[in-house]
Structure 1
């Protein structure tokens, strides 16, 4: 039995070409230096697994106080048991051990197992499909000339996305601090539908800014525009508001996207009839283990479950299951280049081919890290266990 010996975080500098506004929304921007973290778990056989995360997510106190003590000395292949060991520490962590930190540890353990056994994680999870259609997920609206400043901008960008091979497009429309509103959202959705025609699947994520009456007005407009789903129009803490909305419109409600509570919260949404399509993310919902549980929950009720976000963890869950139709590729913008890898990556994990993304073939999660780049730009590290 190989046991976990070390849990180490390496913080390094890299370059991004995006900026984040005061409300947390990402937009294109000039190249700038940022810090990224790599959480690495090593077992007594020398097998390693890693997961990229924000440095604050896996800060030193989180590793030393929670993740390290839960994992050190434990069988590195006991992923289910270890997930529970870390998750239970959230109860006494006073909010300092987030679901994102739990996800980073879980994904690193899956990466370790895949590398040790010579299998991609999606195969290790069961293996259901080797490719999946991708939808283009836009950045939210802005005031940038030639960007996403007007309904006409969204329409032009949608036509370009279809020309690249996408058969589905999800709009993130205007959100604070930009001027926003139901009428503006409807104009953008109508312009895109007119631009791409009836055969391209369209979705809307309005990011929970609306009241019931506003969400209903927008939802009925989406009914007329034949949208494939309607995502997060209201605050997701109010499950009954979503149940009410789902009863009022034909467009399928997809959720919850950002609601806390891992797979258990998704079960409450299904039980309440608050969504037509379930939603779960690997990064925000605690990892691969709870995401797979949520997908199987949806399957048990004859529902689709769509995975929130992109990346290797999302692909692992999608490749291992069958009741989701899409992979979310983005965020995309007329002024951004999604297909050029960040400097700390030698290639992207999700190249688009004929409108689809193939599952990684490499053992583990499949992230193609440039370890030499990371080593040369390391600015801090911390960890626990034998050195």
Structure 2
């Protein structure tokens, strides 16, 4: 947990992998930019830290920038006793969630076959989901990648849930153009809502080609580096129909908002990638975002069981498939500080 403390005692928090916000990164890159600054000058702080990335030899990752920015937004919300989505300027108080299914596996009763996907999709609909996204098989699963098996899984899910549930595919990320086109044409026949990251996103021209040859919307880029600047190039190059961003790849709430506004100015939706309190707050503030990604989900996992460092999950879903905005100050995470203090490591 990254903690930012203001001079008046207010604090903000963000959770990230220890490898990303390890002490050497915090001490060398984050602390010098933060100490002595006004915590409400988030943009100035972010710009200052981002400029240190090039000289960091890859040590200062976008995820570290995201954690810092997230903690600063959380601090501001807690200091002003406001939820972050209202601090940004809220657009909605609830949003439809899509159930984001894990990648395929070879576990009995898991996601080993197309029928397993269909059966699990039926279960998700019974829980209230009105939209579902598949992640199909990837290496090192035996036989993966297999575009035909991906299509079989998609067909099994459509057959299982019927025509009224919105479906999306986020499959193997390194298909070639021919395989991506084959899958995309099949998804058109199955009336899927979008097709996500089927090829290496470093080849923007491949995505422009795919988008031009499919009627189903292509969404991206999800994981390509470059933050909002890369997304601007994708818009300019007609490389996708829906823009993609999120806390994991964008470098913070500020850059996500820049990307969303860029998409809006160009008549595009911008879907937020990933779950969690920060992404949920963004979904509540971004007008051109339709869904919240809830997951990852698997038949053998209980998503609604909070991790030990939280007292409750940040994104409970109601019976109609909506996740509601937190009304807690800050990002809305109900943090189990007692657990964290008792398990801290020096």
Please state which band the TM-score falls in when normalised by the shorter chain: over 0.9
Pairwise CA RMSD: 0.7
**Aligned mates of 1:88, 1:207 — CA distance in 2:** 33
Q: Alignment partner for residue 69 of structure 2, among 106, 129, 135?
A: 106
**Aligned mates of 1:97, 1:39 — CA distance in 2:** 15
1:358 maps to 324
**Deviation string, structure 1 residues 116-143 (Cα, Å, up to 9, x no partner):** 0110100000111110000000010001
Q: Alignment partner for residue 118 of structure 2, among 155, 164, 169?
A: 155
**Aligned mates of 2:122, 2:243 — CA distance in 1:** 28
TM-score normalised to structure 1 length: 0.88
**Deviation string, structure 1 residues 279-316 (Cα, Å, up to 9, x no partner):** 00112210100000000011101111000000011011
**Deviation string, structure 1 residues 310-363 (Cα, Å, up to 9, x no partner):** 001101111111101000000000100000101111000000112000011000
- Alpha-carbon contact 1:104-1:283 (below 8 Å) kept: no
Structure 2 segments unaligned to the other structure (5+ residues): none
Q: Alignment partner for residue 198 of structure 2, among 233, 258, 267?
A: 233
When the two structures are aligned, how many residues end up with a matched partner? 343
1:209 Cα deviation after fit: 2.2
**Aligned mates of 2:293, 2:67 — CA distance in 1:** 20
1:207 Cα deviation after fit: 3.5
Task: Name the structure with the higher strand share.
Answer: 1
Structure 1 residues 1-387: aligned runs within 5 Å: 38-178=1-141, 179-180=143-144, 181-353=146-318, 354-380=320-346
**Aligned mates of 2:313, 2:332 — CA distance in 1:** 10
Structure 1 stretches of 4+ with a deviation exceeding 3 A read none
Structure 1 segments unaligned to the other structure (5+ residues): 1-37, 381-387
Task: Name the structure with the higher helix share.
Answer: 2
**Aligned mates of 1:361, 1:193 — CA distance in 2:** 36
- Alpha-carbon contact 1:76-1:109 (below 8 Å) kept: yes
**Deviation string, structure 1 residues 89-142 (Cα, Å, up to 9, x no partner):** 112111110000000000000000000011010000011111000000001000
**Deviation string, structure 1 residues 145-178 (Cα, Å, up to 9, x no partner):** 1110000000000011001110100000000101
**Aligned mates of 1:198, 1:347 — CA distance in 2:** 34
**Aligned mates of 2:317, 2:282 — CA distance in 1:** 18
SS at match of 1:378: coil
**Aligned mates of 2:225, 2:79 — CA distance in 1:** 32
SS at match of 2:250: coil
**Aligned mates of 1:320, 1:252 — CA distance in 2:** 23
- Alpha-carbon contact 2:311-2:336 (below 8 Å) kept: yes
**Aligned mates of 1:287, 1:203 — CA distance in 2:** 25
- Alpha-carbon contact 1:100-1:284 (below 8 Å) kept: yes
SS at match of 2:52: helix
**Deviation string, structure 1 residues 214-270 (Cα, Å, up to 9, x no partner):** 101111101101110000000000000000000111110000011111011111111
1:22 maps to none
